[in-house]
Chain A
Amino acid sequence: MAMLEPTARQHLVVVGGGMVARRLVDALRARDDAGRWAVTVLCEEPRAPYDRVALTSYFTGRHPEDLALGGQDLWDDPLVTLRRGVAARSVERQARTVTTADGRTLAYDSLVLATGSYAAVPPVPGKDLRGAFVYRTIDDVADLRAYVEGLRSELDRPVRGAVVGGGLLGLEAAGALRALEVDTTVVEFAPRLMPLQVDDGGGEALRRLIENLGVRVRTGTATARIGGDRGRVARMEFTEGEPMDVDVVIFAVGVRPRDELARAAGLEVGERGGVVVDEGCRTADPAVWAIGEVACIQGRCLGLVAPGYTMAEIVADRLLGGEGTFPGADLSTKLKLLGVDVASFGDAFAKEAGGLEVVISDPVAGVYKKLVMSDDARTLRGGILVGDATAYAALRPMVGRPLGADPAAYLLPEGSAPAPAGDLPDDAAVCSCNNVSAGAIRCAVVDAGCTDLAGVKACTRAGTSCGSCLPLVKKLLTTELEKSGVEVSGALCEHFDLSRAQLFDVVRVQGLTTFSDIIGRHGRGRGCDICKPVVGSILASLGTGHILDGERATLQDTNDHVMANLQKDGSYSVVPRIPGGEVTPEGLIAIGEVAREFGLYTKITGGQRIDLFGARIEQLPKIWKRLVDHGFESGHAYGKSLRTVKSCVGSTWCRYGVQDSVGLAIALELRYRGLRSPHKLKLGVSGCARECAEARGKDVGVIATDQGWNLYVGGNGGFTPRHAQLLAEDLDTEALVRTVDRFLMYYVFTADRLQRTAAWVEDYEGGLDAIRGVVLDDSLGIGADLDAAMAAHVDSYEDEWAAALEDPEKLRRFGSFVNAPELPDDSLAYVAERGQARPATDSERRQSGVLIAGTTLEVRR
């Protein structure tokens, strides 16, 4: 790979292992095709760079690993060395070396300081008591959680907590305390919350919203001291007003640059700290650079990740001979704090002369929105959105540009506003985290041929950090696709203009039960191989009867039509259900006898059951008669429906198991068997964290904990493997089943045709968090509908095969020929391999000497 001799390769040392450091290494390695730089990253924390912006989500059920940024690939790059848990002690600029905490000396050709910030702690008495925390790293939040959980077990009242600081970080910390069920008060010195981002009106709206969530707010309040009891935090006293009893205090009053290495090395630091750099991010020493929060650029330190990323890109560019300069920081932010949307962008405080403010303040709805316009009311300068920030993605890229509509229209509730954005100028920044312009997104669609959101994300990185721009990215994608003639209407096919989800709704709401009725009212023509199976699946999901009843039979794909799986030669395979993979010896023998009698090739599936291959269409009822008589039922291996619930052996036998995974798997499989869905569904249950059932590779994965079950969703194997993501922790069995019910039913209600759960979760507006809201907090108020739909499914389940065997009209479909229903297809030919039949290849057919016609004729020997 490297085109230069090792001696020509230069060494870059990056001090700091945060998000910006990772971005620098990523950008450099992406562009440095010739391998001009080898990189060593000194990372003080014991883990690779992680998503610090998402730190609070650690409390809402995510694991540290879920905060990982990007893949491991970057750290596996032979030109990149990541040294975790190793801090830099000193820099010797003359010698161009860095000395590390573990006593090594590293030579550098270039040095980048990306040491970030530390959380400031005000000099109040009592700040060092146990129970006083800052909020900066995974270790900080893990310590906080451990402390609060320890207190909870010893107190017989709720834990009381206070956050000092009502800014962005403080409200994040308050969210963390609330997630830990701590009785929380936010104490802010300024007269309003988030004083740097919102004005008085926005601050007031924010206060009301947050107080409605049960968090107390004390603004205009200075903390005087923290009182202790046996070395632990017990009380807060203020310069004015009543003192307050607390058990835990978090300081979130801001951050300070970690510039001590630079100071000791004699580099210039800013008035309020920070390593002074020029517009190319370089210090006065041409071999030393600083990026991110530690850099003092244009006279200030910037505590947001987006400008840090920009600096990382500039240094990567300059290390390779480029001339990039810092364009100035976009301090726009959009956050969800305690579930409340807050956004601030552009000239939010109307500091520029002559600005006009358009304000909508609705205390009842808990919304405050302000746009700052130029003096002619045409050009957008900035704005503040509190309570509903849906307009942010569309508005922020328009800063400095004419809005082209009545500004107030942008502030109306979602849905009633005009849909802007399609005609955004090419140079408008859409994703400020990754600095992706509207033009770059259009280019990804038009030139690189991306046709979906996942493709655009992979190609441009837009929306891969905070994700707030995703609605806009999607809109741009759709617009470009439409321009180039690609059908993105969501219409199923030429017969229906509706998407699957829309069709599901109308069929459900109008109670339609036949295809003729549905296509007559909502479509045209006679349907096709796209829409017919969709309607068949919708009718089956709604529990309207057997899939082969009357006209409904014509809707089914061949697999559903004969309730078996078509194989390459036109024969079928048969899979009886084996719930949870548990089978009695008698059951195994019965399956074995059926396979032997009909000469079927037998193989164990990945879903812990047995697949029997080589059944001719006219044999299927006979095979199933035998299986049903032995107590087996359809395994639905042929349907877009629940396939299997895989399990490990669990606590009944396993030395390590903590819960009965087999018992739960069987219960789940019996509950969801036969549930028709937009695509196949696979579940898994593991009895302990060793995860032998590979549950995280399933659409729904359940992993036992000491306290109950952790629930993961959206995993799959196949062409694009995905790990399922954590939806909820430590559920008892009843709550688990209710949550899985709702997750599955909501998926069935709203997913696209052939969209598996992973893609559905990714495409869903608001992603997994929004889905969690629907299934756990009933944020859409449809929980009862989902529960009722699942109850109806469970109540109406019948074994499709047993029902078909009772009905001569259905059995008639299994005749091989309409004029010779029992005559085998004479083109089927098999040869023996490892003692079983397999279809003959073309060349074997030509040398017909080795042929075995029909499986039942020969392999039965």
Chain B
Amino acid sequence: MTVNLPDAEAPASTLLEVCPLKALSTERGAAALVRGVQVALFRTFDDQVYAVQQQDPYSGANVMSRGIVGSRGEAPTVASPMYKQVFDLRTGACLDPVGKDPRPLLTYEVAIQDGIVLVGAARAVDANHVPGAP
């Protein structure tokens, strides 16, 4: 497999090619390096692709891509493989902090063009936005 690392010097606003969509398994994450940063990519059942930070905010280990993908209500989710906190893949919000303080994940812009997955800049964190919260 060819190594095609997105340029660490590229402006953060541009979308960078990461991998072919078909390189991502459905409902299982994969880690990617984007501008030298570890990102976790998830392809859900309906072929949406989400990108969040690879670092688990609770353990500090780079493992988020190895969590189980699922759903909570309408939200597509990933559960941290380390201590099982559950996050909304769309917003990064922590839906189940397992008794800890909720810590969100950074999310990244994602686009798919011609079967290629492109990842852009991290979105601004809106810790107040929790889907479904009143």
Contacts and interface: CB of A to CB of B under 8 A. Distances in A.
Given A817-B33, A819-B5, A570 B62 contact: yes
B94 to A, nearest CB: 14
Contact of B77 (A528, A551, A557, A816): A528
Contact of A558 (B18, B24, B62, B81): B81
A569 B6 CA distance: 25
Interface string A514-529: 0000000000011111
A570 B56 CA distance: 10
5 contacts: A529-B84, A553-B28, A568-B82, A819-B4, A820-B33
A827 B31 CA distance: 14
A526 B45 contact: yes
Contacts of A554: 25-28, 68-69
A558 B19 contact: no
Interface string A187-213: 000000000000000000000000000
B44 to A, nearest CB: 8
A818 B23 contact: yes
A503 to B, nearest CB: 16
Given A528-B79, A566-B66, A570-B61, A494 B73 contact: yes
A561 interface: yes
Interface string A569-592: 110000000000000000000000
Contacts of B79: 528-529
Given A528-B70, A528-B86, A817-B32, 14 more contacts: A526-B44, A528-B72, A529-B84, A553-B25, A554-B69, A558-B68, A558-B81, A570-B62, A815-B1, A817-B31, A819-B18, A820-B33, A827-B55, A827-B62
Nearest to B24: A818
A820 B3 contact: yes
A684 interface: no
Interface string A495-506: 100000000000
A405 to B, nearest CB: 41
Contacts of B104: none
B27 A819 contact: no
Given A816-B31, A817-B32, A823-B33, A562 B66 contact: yes
Nearest to A825: B62
A299 interface: no
B13 interface: no
Contacts of A827: 38, 55, 61-62
Contact of B30 (A528, A531, A818): A818
A495 B68 CA distance: 14
B14 to A, nearest CB: 16
Given A817-B31, A818-B19, A819-B5, A566 B82 contact: yes
A540 to B, nearest CB: 16
B59 to A, nearest CB: 6
A557 to B, nearest CB: 7
Contact of A819 (B3, B25, B59, B77): B3
A682 interface: no
Q: How large is the interface on B (under 10, 10 to 19, 20 to 34, 35 or more residues)?
A: 35 or more
A820 B67 CA distance: 20
A821 interface: yes
B52 interface: no
Interface of B: 1, 3-6, 18-19, 23-28, 30-33, 38, 41, 44-45, 55, 59, 61-63, 66-73, 76-77, 79, 81-82, 84, 86
A533 interface: yes
Chain B CB within 10 Å, residue with most, of A532, A551, A553, A818: A818
B81 A566 contact: yes
A300 B26 CA distance: 77
Interface string A527-548: 1110111000000000000000
A554 B71 CA distance: 13
B68 A526 contact: no
Contacts of A529: 67-68, 70, 79, 84, 86
A525 B33 contact: no
Contacts of B26: 551, 554
Nearest to A529: B79
Contacts of B71: 495, 525-528
Interface in A802-850: 813, 815-823, 825, 827
A696 B115 CA distance: 58
B1 A821 contact: yes
Interface of A: 494-495, 525-529, 531-533, 551, 553-555, 557-558, 561-562, 566, 568-570, 617, 813, 815-823, 825, 827
A553 B82 CA distance: 18
Contacts of B27: 526, 551, 554
Contacts of A822: 3
Nearest to A827: B62
B32 A819 contact: yes
A557 B69 CA distance: 10
B70 A818 contact: no
Nearest to B19: A818
Listed from nearest, the 3 A-B pairs whose CB atoms lie closest are: A570-B61, A529-B79, A528-B70
A533 B26 CA distance: 16
Q: Among A494, A561, A570, A815, which residue has the most Cβ atoms of chain B within 10 A?
A: A570
B68 A533 contact: yes
A472 B84 CA distance: 35
Q: Among A555, A817, A822, A827, which residue has the most Cβ atoms of chain B within 10 A?
A: A817
Contacts of B67: 529, 558
Nearest to B36: A826
A570 B65 CA distance: 11
A823 B3 contact: yes
Contacts of A532: 68, 70
A818 B18 contact: yes
A656 B75 CA distance: 62
A228 to B, nearest CB: 73
Given A558-B63, A817-B33, A819-B6, A528 B18 contact: no
A820 B34 CA distance: 11
A528 B68 contact: yes
Contacts of A569: 61
Contacts of B59: 568, 570
Contact of B63 (A570, A819, A821, A823): A570
B46 to A, nearest CB: 9
Nearest to A553: B28
Nearest to A571: B61
Chain B CB count within 10 A is highest, among A526, A557, A821, A822, for A526
Contacts of B66: 558, 561-562, 566, 617
Contacts of B25: 553-554, 813
Contacts of A570: 59, 61-63, 82
A818 B25 CA distance: 11
B31 A818 contact: yes
A570 B62 CA distance: 6
B70 A527 contact: yes
Contacts of B69: 526, 554
B5 to A, nearest CB: 6
Contacts of A817: 30-33, 38
A534 to B, nearest CB: 11
Give the most central of A528, A531, A561, A819: most B CB within 10 Å.
Answer: A819
Contacts of A553: 25, 28
A554 B25 CA distance: 8
Question: A529, A554, A555 — which one has the most chain B CB atoms within 10 A of its CB?
Answer: A529
Contacts of B18: 818-819
A526 B5 contact: no
B81 A557 contact: yes
Contacts of A525: 70-71, 73
Nearest to B56: A570
